[in-house]
Structure 1
Amino acid sequence: MNNILIASFDMEVGGVERSLISMLENFDYKNYTVDLILHKHQGDFLNLLPNKASLLTEVPQYTTFRKSIGETIKDRHYSIGISRVFSKINADLKGRLKGIAEPGYYQMQLMWKYALPFLPKVEKEYDVAISYLWPHYFIAEKVKAKKKIAWIHTDYSTIEPDKKMDLKMWQQFDHIIAVSEACKTSFLKKYSELENKVLVMENITSPDFIKKMASEELENPMIRDNRFKIVTVARLSHAKGIDNAVKALKLLRDKGYSNISWYVVGYGGEEAMIKELISKNGLEDSFILLGKQTNPYPFIKEADLYVQPSRYEGKAVTVGEAQILTKPVMITNYPTASSQVKDGFDGYICELSIKGIAQGIERLYKNLQLRNTLSNNCETADFNNSNELEKLYKIMDINNNHSFLGTKKDSIKGVI
């Protein structure tokens, strides 16, 4: 049996974490033993991890990537704490000099670069090591494996990492998996030299599980709401465009559409700003934040329309889940949108702007026939794609070295 290591950060509520759980639930444990390493054992999805995957013990140094600088220093990880300070200062400086609106990706790269000398290596050698969430420096630098695989979940045309630094990391992987064709295309526009390493494997979905979870009884204010109900499941972050959603609902309210309510399941760093925006626009009764929910599916089930107002996406897991629940779906025209839905068939793509979101909702609100068409086409579709894992098994074959660029990594002695 081949020994596999899969690494991610934590199991907080999110699309990437849900896709990881689905993959682990469908994994071939007859032919593979799977160790899972999380930098921090936290998150509401921890109890959803299948028992067949062995969750390894937390390593204190790696927990710092889910802690503040103050907490890191308080825990006496002084060198890592200082490296975090330097990464923030340098990233903010570059952001100001180059006019980068969101220098967070560069800061994350620097955080790992400066911290790497103070992080322990993994003692056990694996046949395959999989890094499920960027940045992939842990698997690249601290794990010894015959093959290394990294995942891409985002649209690289919308982010600004340091290309030279990232390229050095990517070249240590034998294979890179993108979650959609559009995701692969945007990545290769930045890293064309990695073309032979990249393949597409969709996020694993489990329709039976989603439908079962959607039937769970929980406190849900949407049940008592007789208005036209929109729902979005997303982090409260710049990428997800929840601020644009608030402004779009204000436009609709100003046009006389008082019978529309919008619910958002999720949490994140922009929560205070979004609450202020809701209050400023007088939408407290109609734009409602439901906070973190371990099970978002009963909320999706109660909606008349699912909307993804994102500025960018790799492939939104929640959109596919809404389709499984046969909801009419509207997404903004982010660069990878056409790989997510067939416009006018199983989803509707609106212009990526506040006005475009409002106009798209208005059209779907007024056009019941279109909503029914989108729902009916989702109802007859087959969303079960567990066979996608065959692509992973094929490249995990340690005797199969196709699409490998460069030379094998040097041996690494472990200390964990």
Structure 2
Amino acid sequence: MADKKKILIRIGSLRHGGAEKTLVTFLKNISSDKYEIDLLLNLYSGKYLNDVPKWINIYYLNKGEMITTNRIQDIPQKAFRVIYQEVLKKYPKLLYKYILYNKEYDIEFAAIQGIGEDVLNSPIKNSKKILWVHSDLSNVPEFTNSKIKSFFKFDHILVISDKINQFFLDLASSDDEKNKIVRIINPIDTTEILELSKEKIDMVKDNSIKTFISVGTNLEHKGYDRLVKIHKNLLNKGLIHKILIVGECSDKMKQLINQYKVEKSFILLGYQKNPYPFFELADYYVLSSRIEGYPTVVFEALLLNKFVLATDVSGVRDMIVNGDNGIVVNNTDVDLENAMEYLIKSDIKKADNSSKNLYSLKDSVTTIENLLN
């Protein structure tokens, strides 16, 4: 048997995000016979840690939960983490000597764009370097065109939607750079999702009222703040409905819900280890995002036969056929509100889709493996 490829994969953490979940799904479906993999986390944290196959070695820079507050008692630890990571970023030889123990790698893989610069700074100059871009960077201020163009120093750039693919093609200055861009489909375990969706939960669907559901952490780009305001506007029009949010929500979000006095109809279900059974409580899935890369949750909603309403962000037009399995609207509050009003008044219940028949996890994993090989 040929020698195993030695691979270093880097990502921030394994918290509950699309990029993190996609990476772990990929790792669960590749062979330990072909690869020797080290996974380096900036922060040893997250719901997907236990899902990483045991044969993969996990290393980390810091350990513990992510600190999202600015409480006085948290500042020393928060500052230490930042300074420590910056030192290792500036002097990568220290990282490779004292944490990775002078290992040599055939491939170094940045599993998310935010870690790209770190991988390019690797002291191992002869390794193949691969970047996995999960976001539409066209309107992200910290990713300037010059910073994004530096990504062409990678041997391969994996992109997950047609929109991101075109964005990089437009930035490429040569055929050689264009050939580095590889359009892939994110690995998604459809069998696992369908099985998890059968788990019993305590809540029962209220068939007397139209209900929307959305799943995700309350980050600004998810647009939950505008969803609260739209919800209030629709209630003021006499359009009774409910919105369920599965995922962590900030205190600011909770205050907004209280401010609009919609606590009984805009319901925060909190973080759920298994969100899929909750889809059955809703008539529609709503994606209110301001920006995305490839919102895997839309695919999951379609797989679970939910009709999807989505703002026109990267990736949704790769999945939604307008009118058949969902509606894509301009990324404005007005258009989102009008579409929600239409669905509340409509008889549409389930998506007409064949997502589960069109997708192959094996093909997706094989595409990435071919690059590794």
TM-score, normalization by structure 1: 0.77
Cα deviation per residue 1:15-60 (whole Å; 9 max; x = unaligned)?
Answer: 11111121112213332222222222211221122224x1323234
Structure 2 partner of 1:198: 181
Alpha-carbon separation, structure 1, partners of 2:213 and 2:164? 25
**Structure 2 counterpart of 1:153, one-letter code:** H
Structure 2 partner of 1:377: 353
What's the offset of the Cα at 1:181? 1.5
What's the offset of the Cα at 1:326? 1.2
Alpha-carbon separation, structure 2, partners of 1:113 and 1:191? 32
Structure 2 partner of 1:46: 49
The structure-2 alpha-carbon separation of the partners of 1:318 and 1:335, relative to structure 1 and needing over 3 Å to count, comes to: closer
1:169-208 equivalence runs, <5 A: 170-190=151-171, 192=173, 194-208=177-191
Alpha-carbon separation, structure 2, partners of 1:112 and 1:189? 32
Structure 2 partner of 1:212: 195
What's the offset of the Cα at 1:196? 2.5
What's the offset of the Cα at 1:336? 4.3
Structure 1 partner of 2:305: 326
The structure-2 alpha-carbon separation of the partners of 1:189 and 1:250, relative to structure 1 and needing over 3 Å to count, comes to: farther
Alpha-carbon separation, structure 2, partners of 1:176 and 1:380? 27
**Structure 2 counterpart of 1:228, one-letter code:** K
**Structure 2 counterpart of 1:244, one-letter code:** R
Is the 8 Å Cα contact of residues 11 and 46 (structure 1) preserved in structure 2?
yes
1:197-276 equivalence runs, <5 A: 197-219=180-202, 221=203, 223=205, 226-258=208-240, 260-267=241-248, 271-276=250-255
2:57 corresponds to which of 40, 49, 55: 55
Alpha-carbon separation, structure 1, partners of 2:349 and 2:278? 18
Structure 1 partner of 2:332: 353
Is the 8 Å Cα contact of residues 9 and 38 (structure 2) preserved in structure 1?
yes
**Structure 1 counterpart of 2:298, one-letter code:** V
Cα deviation per residue 1:312-342 (whole Å; 9 max; x = unaligned)?
Answer: 1111011111111111111012254322322
What's the offset of the Cα at 1:359? 1.6
Structure 2 partner of 1:406: none
**Structure 1 counterpart of 2:32, one-letter code:** Y
**Structure 1 counterpart of 2:196, one-letter code:** M
TM-score, normalization by structure 2: 0.85
Alpha-carbon separation, structure 2, partners of 1:64 and 1:45? 14
CA RMSD of aligned residues (A): 2.9
Which range moved further: 337-346 or 292-301?
337-346
Structure 2 partner of 1:120: 95
Secondary structure, in 3 states, of the residue corresponding to 2:105? strand
Alpha-carbon separation, structure 2, partners of 1:186 and 1:149? 18
* Residue 387, structure 1, aligned to residue 366, structure 2: no
* Residue 9, structure 1, aligned to residue 12, structure 2: yes
Cα deviation per residue 1:88-117 (whole Å; 9 max; x = unaligned)?
Answer: xxxxxxxxxxxxxxxxxxxxxxx8599523
Alpha-carbon separation, structure 1, partners of 2:166 and 2:304? 29
Unaligned runs of 5+ in 2: none
Identity of aligned residues (%): 25
Secondary structure, in 3 states, of the residue corresponding to 2:352? helix
Secondary structure, in 3 states, of the residue corresponding to 1:125? coil
Alpha-carbon separation, structure 2, partners of 1:173 and 1:67? 31
Is the 8 Å Cα contact of residues 3 and 32 (structure 1) preserved in structure 2?
yes
Cα deviation per residue 1:362-385 (whole Å; 9 max; x = unaligned)?
Answer: 2223332x443xx23246643333
Cα deviation per residue 1:234-265 (whole Å; 9 max; x = unaligned)?
Answer: 2211211111111111121011112x110111
